[in-house]
């Protein structure tokens, strides 16, 4: 048997760590550079299809069930190392989205429930994972702010190659970016759904304003 993955988490671990956990220098720099290039060149990348809390941002979204991880990796092979590292074994449905912010971009406070567009009973994800793919030198603003109800939990400064996990029911936001350059992250909402809820979630689909999504 191989070594246990140190990035596998549980609810009690997240609670013990004040609702979030940070892992620096997770991937080889060569992979991070390849990932950045593939995302920026992807034909799906466009003005965000997410809700109005995402101001001046770009991205696209990949919705999939655990059974279709292989299809995601076939269509987007550059996501595979991230998925291998970040996905939690207790989760069965995922909402993966690259998120690009530039000067003036921000994300207003919200709780992730992106799969609710497919099933109205879906609760927030068990966990959200965020990999910072590209962070400009001397970035001003762009911090991830976490709150539990009205209690301030933490503020995370983006650093390239840092992987962050936070509890999925936290209110979170991204402060406005006040400097030039591109802040690029790869976000995955990770859900643990009932069998009934899972029936309403696409096995695999892409959401993008650039290209009409294909649903399996």
Q: Token pair of 69, please?
A: 């991880």
CA 187 to CA 163: how far, in whole Å? 10
pLDDT > 50? residue 2: no
Quickly tell me which residue has 């290209």 as its tokens: 211
Residue-range domain boundaries for the chain: 11-207
The Cα 68–Cα 151 span in angstroms is 37
Helices (H) and strands (E) in the chain, counts: 5, 12
In this structure, what token pair is assigned to residue 209?
């304003």
Kindly report which listed range (4-8, 26-30, 45-49, 143-147) carries the lowest average pLDDT score: 4-8
Between residues 159 and 12, the one the model is more confident about: 159
Confidence of residue 46 (pLDDT cuts 50, 70, 90): very high
Please compute the mean of the pLDDT values over residues 105-111 and round it to a whole number. 91
Question: What does the block give as tokens for 161?
Answer: 């190659």
The whole-angstrom separation of Cα 200 and Cα 192 is 14
Whole-angstrom distance, CA of residue 25 vs CA of residue 84: 16
Tell me the CATH number for domain 11-207.
2.60.120.620
For residue 32, the surrounding DSSP H or E stretch is helix 29-41
| Residue 101 DSSP label | E
**Number of neighbours of residue 92 by Cβ within 10 angstroms:** 19
Q: What does the pLDDT average to over 39-53?
A: 88
Q: ∠213-214-216 over CA atoms, to 5°? A: 140
Q: What pLDDT, in 10s, does the model give residues 73-100? A: 999 999 999 999 999 999 999 999 999 9
């Amino acid at each position: 048997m191989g070594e246990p993955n140190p990035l596998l988490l549980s609810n009690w671990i997240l609670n013990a760590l004040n609702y979030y956990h940070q892992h620096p220098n997770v991937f080889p720099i060569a992979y991070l550079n390849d990932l950045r290039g593939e995302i920026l060149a992807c034909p799906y990348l466009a003005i965000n299809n997410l809700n109005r809390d995402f101001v001046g941002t770009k991205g696209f979204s990949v919705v999939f069930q655990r059974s279709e991880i292989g299809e995601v990796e076939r269509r987007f092979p550059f996501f595979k190392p991230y998925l291998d590292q970040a996905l939690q074994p207790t989760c069965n449905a995922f909402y993966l989205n690259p998120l690009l912010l530039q000067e003036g971009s921000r994300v207003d406070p919200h709780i992730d429930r992106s799969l609710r567009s497919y099933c109205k009973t879906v609760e927030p994800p068990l966990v959200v994972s965020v990999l910072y793919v590209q962070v400009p030198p001397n970035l001003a603003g762009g911090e991830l702010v976490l709150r539990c109800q009205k209690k301030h939990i933490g503020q995370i400064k983006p650093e390239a190659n840092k992987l962050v996990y936070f509890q999925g029911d936290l209110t979170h936001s991204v402060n406005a970016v006040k400097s030039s350059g591109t802040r690029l992250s790869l976000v995955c909402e990770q859900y643990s759904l009932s069998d009934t809820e899972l029936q309403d979630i696409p096995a695999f689909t892409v959401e993008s304003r650039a290209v009409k999504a294909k649903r399996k």
